[in-house]
A and B are shown apart, each in its own frame.
Chain A
């Protein structure tokens, strides 16, 4: 896996991003000098970012820092921008809410928008990949939250994307479903080998899944770190805890305690959900 051969941790981000953009043989995403303003207020302000093909990048940030705006720009949904944005033609998005068309059965939702006349088999194969083949003919209203989210993932995967954009896809799931969904995404990524950009406010989730974690603040990538931990990752690993503490610090969660590795279940757990703690309304 691509976790152990990465370069040193880059502290100075803009500088490093500029370097890698020049040096990398190919890139799944290349963003330079991106600005996106709402009513004169720059939410994304001179942002530079390069994602390597097949790389799993987690984008962290407080709520309102512009991380979802960046994802929408990369998805091509927001084009009122300045600067240079290069993304693969084949890209797919999974949103926080599954956003299935309620008037289409699950398999028709999966193949919606595919060129030509895709058959049911195409949809069922994608649904099988997320363990939902048996619900192909169901109406979306009959799916549970986790199933709907997996259907949404299948809808993204069936497009065979070179870049998969995930906008807090686990945010609305309960804790148990979330763990399974995270495992599923990890499996799918390892099998498909596509680049993934995961927007999340959950530091733990970022560290479990990503090759590289970015922290967005002030409209740009304010901090980034390689997550050079062996997979599958263990949150009780002391290196994991150290990375988490560092990222929480960068996210502005002051005095986040680093739990001692021998007592991972101490009564004062690290506040892993920094964004949610900021306003308490991140999940609908």
Chain B
């Protein structure tokens, strides 16, 4: 077969016979230039563009504080807050509080992560597991987890246990939902292809199902980290004698808005670091994914 014929075979039916000849030539349309991407932008580096928003906010805040529009009693100025933060770091209060809080988050994340992923695997991979686990988890999920704090205090006392349990609870639900959805979202045609390649059930799970569920798991991890910090704030408001939440509670007693903002800033920075960790993980683990990355 020659190339010509093959292309011809694909071509739409010839319609020229029935079409009347055009009487007058077409007017030429107005042309506009397509501007190459490399020609524009690239003037400002990416990190600088990202820093613009926070910096503008800080400057505005400082200006409002200095001019007296924002009373010091309501919110301290960024300058004061920086000084207070420096003091808290210097006398060791802030580092030790952060260490305690980080430990709580780490333990809660680990316990909740193990529980959430294990449940998701059990119900995602087997229909029996789905029938037994999924309905239960979906039911419990609709309970607002902050509402169980009083119960946790009654059950677990006022030590570390209720705080960690609260974090673990929030983490477990998010991971469960996203990992389960990730497993069930794996393309059935890829599973079939894996079967045709002779993969065993274990091989299918390892080479097809779990990698396919990874994007969902990453989304779950992102939500989990955010929830972990949130649960930490709630947990540490309850009878804590150290940690960031305790520091904030104490500052409230003495109307120290600067200390409160320092703690909030620490939460924000820790959240930012957590996000950075997830982003790095995604870049390493999901580099195969053909997704839109913005323009």
Contacts and interface: CB of A to CB of B under 8 A. Distances in A.
Interface string B196-207: 111100010001
A265 B8 contact: yes
Interface in A88-134: 92-93, 95, 97, 99, 101-104, 112-115
Nearest to B196: A93
Contacts of A179: 1, 3, 6
Interface string A212-234: 00000000000000000000011
A240 to B, nearest CB: 9
B199 A112 contact: yes
B4 interface: yes
Contacts of B189: 95, 97, 99
Nearest to A204: B9
Interface residues of A, number: 39
Interface string B3-39: 1111111110110010000000000000000000000
Contact of A113 (B17, B203, B211, B214): B203
Contact of A267 (B7, B10, B17, B196): B17
A149 to B, nearest CB: 13
Interface in B163-196: 189-190, 192-196
A31 B3 CA distance: 37
B211 A77 contact: no
Given A77-B192, A101-B208, A141-B288, A265 B5 contact: yes
A249 B190 CA distance: 36
A189 interface: no
A273 B8 CA distance: 12
Interface in B259-295: 287-290
A151 to B, nearest CB: 12
B6 A175 contact: yes
Given A97-B189, A113-B199, A102 B289 contact: yes
A273 B10 CA distance: 8
A77 B195 CA distance: 7
A95 B3 contact: no
Contact of A176 (B3, B13, B190, B192): B3
Contacts of B85: none
Contacts of A19: none
A267 B288 CA distance: 46
Given A102-B290, A175-B7, A208 B1 contact: yes
A24 B249 CA distance: 88
B211 A269 contact: no
Nearest to A272: B9
A268 interface: yes
Chain A CB within 10 Å, residue with most, of B11, B192, B197, B290: B197
A99 B290 CA distance: 14
A139 B13 contact: no
A273 B14 CA distance: 16
A75 interface: yes
B184 to A, nearest CB: 17
A114 B199 CA distance: 8
A155 interface: yes
Contacts of B289: 102-103, 141
Given A112-B197, A236-B5, A265-B5, 19 more contacts: A92-B196, A92-B197, A93-B193, A99-B190, A102-B288, A104-B288, A112-B199, A112-B207, A113-B194, A113-B198, A113-B203, A139-B288, A141-B289, A175-B10, A176-B6, A178-B6, A204-B9, A236-B2, A267-B14
Interface of B: 1-11, 13-14, 17, 189-190, 192-199, 203, 207-208, 211-212, 214, 287-290
13 contacts: A77-B196, A92-B196, A99-B192, A104-B288, A112-B199, A113-B198, A113-B207, A140-B288, A141-B290, A176-B7, A265-B4, A265-B5, A267-B14
